[in-house]
Amino acid sequence: MQNHIRNTNLRFNLDKDQQRKAWEYLQTMDRQNFKSYSQVISLALVDYFDRYYRTQADPYLETREREELFVKQIVEAVEHSLKQSLPIFLSGLTAGMLERESPIRVPFPAPEKEQPDRDIDWDFLGE
């Protein structure tokens, strides 16, 4: 049976901010989600290098991701604003419609009967 396990040593210099931060993350990691240092380090390395190689192949990937995040934030802000203002708008619109359909109607004056013009000869109709 072949040995499929590889060992390596890690050394963290706590005087360097990034290495100290990495060490602190390892010490405070959630043991229910991450079972071992090996698991969390392998996850971090794979994620880092996958992203690194994608950005090497597509230099605008990070810019597009930022733009997509920005657009998503705008859409969420508009949706939130609409959720707050739409009920007020609709109630105002409904009130306006009710005012237009009010049962109180102003009567229009009745049209006056037209009197036939006396200068016209009405006999041409064949009488």
User: Per-residue pLDDT tens for 102-124?
Assistant: 555 666 676 676 665 556 555 65
User: Per-residue pLDDT tens for 17-57?
Assistant: 999 999 999 999 999 999 999 999 999 999 999 988 887 77
One-letter amino acid of 49: F
In the structure encoding, which two tokens stand for residue 124, read together? Answer: 């041409």
User: Per-residue pLDDT tens for 46-79?
Assistant: 999 998 888 777 777 778 777 888 899 999 999 9
User: Per-residue pLDDT tens for 75-98?
Assistant: 999 999 989 888 888 888 888 777
Residue 111, classified by CB atoms within 10 Å of its CB into exposed (0-12), middle (13-18) or buried (19+), is exposed
Cβ neighbours around 95 below 10 Å, total: 9
Cβ neighbours around 106 below 10 Å, total: 4
Measured CA to CA, the distance from residue 39 to residue 53 in angstroms comes to: 21
For the chain, which residues make up each domain, given as ranges?
A: 10-56, 59-97
In the structure encoding, which two tokens stand for residue 90, read together? Answer: 């609709």
